[in-house]
A and B are shown apart, each in its own frame.
Chain A
Amino acid sequence: MIDLKEVVKIYQTDEVETFALNKLSLKIDQGEFTSIMGPSGCGKSTLLNIIGLIDMPTEGTYQFDGKIVNQFGEKQKADVRKENIGFVFQNFNLLDELPVYDNVELPLIYTSLSAKERKEKVLNVLSKLDIIHRKKHLPKQLSGGQQQRVAIARAIVNHPKILLADEPTGNLDSENGKEVMKILTDLNEEGTTIVMVTHSARDANYGSKIIHLFDGKMITENILKNLNYV
């Protein structure tokens, strides 16, 4: 489903070139739960953004669902995103001005669904994640765990094939973190492909595959053991 070949990402500031990803190749199949780990600045988020088509590789090819997406225009990428991909962020990124219901509805706004269909989907996902009683509340009236549940609800409301989570538990206490991981595992069991960036080895272990990044490169388990990194 996701096939990255020798992907390079270079960030260029005035005089310095930084390799965020260095000839990285990665395959993720449908239904997998992949955890990406690594120290700060190793390129985890960059990788996730490239997978989510909100950033583009400098070199290398990226095939999504069998199509090479490197040359896609803004519109095509937006189409791929809205049909296939859901995003969950560490800092939730809920729109503070809108109540829970509207936040969750947001991705559906840009589809051709009717108002009735949208309502049905939103209510469904809200009850699934057990936050339907708070649908009229504003994000700031919710606890962190509830906010992240809203964010997940928003990410999955349109039934994406793949859910990208960038340190979803990073801003949560362990209790709420556990709950979020439980939700992700359940979703994965229902067939959603999940790619998650995390700092936490415990969270990473929920995944069926763990990828370690170091300086923009993937490192095998063995090398890791030798480095005493894990």
Chain B
Amino acid sequence: MFKNYLKVAFTNLWNHKVFSFINILGLTVGMAACFLILLFVQDELSYDQYHEKADRLYRVFVEYKNQEGEFVGGVITPYILGPTLASVFEGEVERVIRIDGPFSYQIEKGDKKFPQEGLALADADVFDAFSFKLIAGDPKTALVEPFTMVIDKTIAEKFFGKEDPIGESLLIEEEFEVKITGIIDEIPENSHAHFHGFVSMASGEQIYSERVKTQWGEGSQSTYLVLPKGANAEKFEAKLPDFVENHTFGEGASAFVRYRLQKVTDIHLHSHLRGELEANGDIDYIYIFSGVALVIMLIACINYMNLSTARSSERAKEVGLRKVVGAYRSQIITQFLSESILLTLIAFILAILCAEIALPVFNEIAQKELEINYLENFFVVTVFLGIAIVIGIVAGSYPAFFLSSFQPVKVLKGSKGSSGGKSVVLRKVLVILQFAISITLIISTIVISEQLNYLRNKKLGINTDHIVISNFQDTTLVNKFPVLKRELLKNPDIKSITATNKRMTRNLSSNLGYKIEGAEPNPQGQDNYTITTVTSDHDFFKTYEAEFVMGRDFDETIPSDAREGFIFNESAIKLLGLEDPIGKEVESATFDMEIMDFVPKKGKIIGVVKDFHFESLDYTISPVGFHISDNWLNWMSIKLAGNNIPETVQYIESTIKSFAPTRPFNYTFLDEDINQLYQGQERVMIIFRYFAGLAIIIACLGIFGLSSFTAERKTKEIGIRKVLGASTSGVTILLTREFIKLVVVAAVIGWPIAYYFMDSWLTDFNYRIDIGFGAFILATFVAIFIAVFTVSSQAIKAALTNPVKALRYE
């Protein structure tokens, strides 16, 4: 029996090539898209799952209450947090691991010298908590001693080639000699951070200043915990407020500082704290993509249903006959289902092939290294095969139930069976659904790209064109900076130079206490404020062309500016509640790199600068205080005139080399940095656009098929109309109009859905566009255009048919 089903199914597929082609193509493209999305989603969900102790591996993060009374979370925790937790909660935590990094350091061995990124200091137990694979060395002891280091394969090969690096040494930053005690495999792609080498935290113990080692407001470590088996993380977290009171900042501190836990496996998709080690993914995008995959499949299924029921009249005779010779309805249902399953299985195989072909492109866009490994991904492939069969059943069930309900008496007598009033209505409903989805996707695509364009083009409030950013790397060059600056400015293509402690576009992390004359008491009723601090030389605002709203910029001709000049941004002035800020006394502090400690700094407000974005647009502008420092400087910003850029960069390199011959010259253009901030979103946008396009194409395939059936069904009507004098264009319009009506109804349904989804998507942005009416109108016209374009070829063909032929045929 089954063989017969298959035979009939194959014959049917073969004899109705257009129908089969549209269905298989639609399902293939849909499934291939789904398959890629599934791979992507699976990869995103797999982050950090490979750690053996993943189910009890946590990161401790900190939350500070800001001036607005909101808790703001950050990844960076004090150096002493780890050991304190370990001793206070002895027995309640299995391991505490601090990781400081990733940093970019210069490493050298003999005449080989490279800047190396992804380096970190880590506690000795790091390999116990994280399942990083050690190829050589003992994971238990490799990082116990000071100045020991574990490097990854790539570094090992770079410096030692085929030789065994164990026991050899490397020189870091021309200062610290470390002994290689282990080699790790490269850290898997699906990790929340990618380190290339670990230096023992015991080295940090000797390098860090006393201040860093003892103060709760210091440190730059990420702290991880392994809880014992069966421990309850929530209960543990509940003990942390007491811990804060009793062991850290003292009584009352838990109202302002909270330590909290997050699962390491949750970091990639759920964590968006300040100072994340790498740009994370976003669970929202997982939902969005899964939804898009589902929608694409839905559209392909609807195509199948519509086309199958549309040509039901062709198969009515078969159904009737089979019933007459004694087939049960269930047997006929089984037959139609096996047909649709056969179709989806063919599509499944083609989809896997398509996915293989499209994978490199997809990887390029998604910045992933996904591959289909049929053994390793056996689960995914099996699941997908299961999905294919389910799709076959879902898509086939309606036609199966519909067709099997035909009464032989009705269908065997006439030359053609009816195609059913009910099914026509349902077909219309399904087409409306497809177009509603398509229109929703088009609107979403437009809104998302508008938002991203807005973010990219939104003025940061300063001029970031042609600015080269480079870091000092060591204090020697900082001390030579004034001379270096004069030397660089001799080149007419360099317009201006400044130095800062913080890098533009990166997080501002130095929060200092301020007491300001005339300021309102803070929400806690005290007169001190914590304000983010940026230090620079005199030319910061000139270089970035910031606008002043009150007072003046730092001026080199006024010697007191360097000593006691403070400039605040508008947000800071607003926070302080100052009516007339110029000349007000300020008490704060600055950092002295010479003595590696904070020193008090007193002065007066000389200017208020218009708010601008120092950090990325993901954050709102925070209150910032600026003052001048001659050594708390880490980054140079060099503004070029914009002509002869390569030569100018060359000039900068050679000039810096003449001051620090051994220092490698690293630089980026600020514009590129800024673009990079939005690269993640950009990628998501591109992927979204592709898949939305696919969904629309599949929907078009469907109405293309459907319109050809409609045209066929209406052959007689068209014939009569033409005999009565209708023109070709009149008939074409007649056929097209039906679909336009459906699209318009679909638009009305699609609009509110798209609005709802896009509005909730936009709420996550601090700076967002308002959804304009334009996107809705545009999307509707695009959909109508696509529908008309798809349908009209069929309609024109039908309209051109000789009416005599059409009527004789009936």
Contacts and interface: CB of A to CB of B under 8 A. Distances in A.
Interface of A: 45, 49, 52, 54-55, 74-75, 78-79, 81-83, 87, 89, 91, 93, 95, 97-98, 102, 105-107, 109-111, 115, 154
A10 to B, nearest CB: 14
B237 to A, nearest CB: 63
B507 interface: no
A91 B411 CA distance: 12
Contact of A110 (B8, B317, B326, B408): B326
A45 B410 CA distance: 12
Contacts of B324: 52, 54, 81, 87
A81 B325 contact: yes
A83 B326 contact: yes
A97 B4 contact: no
A107 B326 contact: yes
Interface stretch (B175-183, B277-285, B327-335, B725-733): B327-335
Nearest to A109: B4
A52 B4 CA distance: 25
B4 A75 contact: no
B563 interface: no
Given A106-B325, A110-B328, A49 B409 contact: yes
Contact of B328 (A49, A75, A115): A75
B486 interface: no
Given A45-B413, A97-B15, A107 B325 contact: yes
B575 interface: no
Which of A54, A83, A111 has the most chain B CB within a 10 Å cutoff?
A: A54
Contacts of B4: 102, 105-106, 109
A93 B8 contact: no
Contacts of A81: 324-326
A164 to B, nearest CB: 9
A79 B321 contact: no
A111 B328 CA distance: 11
Nearest to A89: B412
A40 to B, nearest CB: 12
Contact of B317 (A82, A87, A95): A95
B87 interface: no
Contacts of B325: 81-82, 87, 106-107, 110, 154
A106 B321 contact: yes
A82 B325 CA distance: 5
Interface string B655-687: 000000000000000000000000000000000
A106 B1 CA distance: 9
A98 B8 CA distance: 8
A111 B15 CA distance: 27
A4 to B, nearest CB: 17
A21 to B, nearest CB: 13
A52 B1 CA distance: 24
Q: Which 3 pairs between the two chains have the least Cβ-Cβ distance? A: A82-B326, A107-B325, A81-B326
Q: Which of B326, B329, B415 has the most CB of A within 10 A?
A: B326
B601 interface: no
Contact of B331 (A52, A89, A91, A110): A110
B322 interface: yes
B11 interface: yes
Main SS class of interface, B? helix
Interface of B: 1, 3-4, 7-8, 11-12, 15, 317-318, 320-329, 331, 407-409, 412-413, 415
Contacts of A105: 4
A154 B412 CA distance: 16
B334 to A, nearest CB: 11
A54 B408 CA distance: 7
A54 B3 CA distance: 27
B8 A97 contact: yes
Contacts of A109: 1, 4, 327
B409 A54 contact: yes
B326 A78 contact: yes
Contacts of A115: 3
Contacts of B415: 91
A156 B391 CA distance: 39
Given A75-B328, A95-B321, A110-B325, 11 more contacts: A54-B323, A74-B328, A78-B323, A82-B327, A87-B324, A93-B320, A97-B12, A106-B4, A110-B326, A110-B331, A111-B326
A97 B328 CA distance: 21
A102 B12 CA distance: 14
A106 B331 CA distance: 13
A52 to B, nearest CB: 7
A78 B1 CA distance: 16
Contacts of B8: 97-98
A27 to B, nearest CB: 23
A102 B328 CA distance: 19
A110 B4 CA distance: 10
Contact of A97 (B11, B322, B326, B331): B11
Contacts of B320: 93
Nearest to B5: A109
A154 B4 CA distance: 15
Contacts of A107: 325-326
Nearest to A46: B409
A102 B7 contact: yes
A89 B15 CA distance: 25
Contacts of B318: 95
A62 to B, nearest CB: 15
B12 A55 contact: no
B412 A93 contact: yes
A48 to B, nearest CB: 10
B413 A110 contact: no
A166 to B, nearest CB: 9
Given A54-B324, A110-B1, A93 B317 contact: yes
B327 A110 contact: yes
B409 A55 contact: yes
A108 B472 CA distance: 88
A106 B11 contact: no
Contact of B11 (A49, A54, A98, A110): A98
A81 to B, nearest CB: 5
B12 to A, nearest CB: 6
6 contacts: A54-B407, A78-B328, A93-B317, A106-B4, A107-B325, A110-B1
Nearest to B325: A107
A93 B11 CA distance: 18
Nearest to B324: A87
Nearest to B318: A95
Nearest to B4: A109
Contacts of A75: 328-329
A81 B12 CA distance: 26
A125 to B, nearest CB: 14
Most A-side CB within 10 Å, residue of B1, B329, B412, B415: B412
A96 to B, nearest CB: 9
A160 to B, nearest CB: 10
Residue of B11, B322, B324, B331 with most chain A CB atoms under a 10 A cut-off: B324
Nearest to A112: B1
Contacts of A97: 8, 11-12, 15
Nearest to B15: A97
Contacts of A110: 1, 322, 325-328, 331
A109 B324 CA distance: 13
A158 to B, nearest CB: 8
Contacts of B322: 106, 110
A64 B149 CA distance: 94
Nearest to A97: B11
A45 B413 CA distance: 10
A74 B4 CA distance: 22
B326 to A, nearest CB: 2
B196 to A, nearest CB: 64
Contacts of A91: 415
B630 to A, nearest CB: 90
B689 to A, nearest CB: 42
A196 to B, nearest CB: 16
Nearest to A55: B409
Contacts of B331: 110
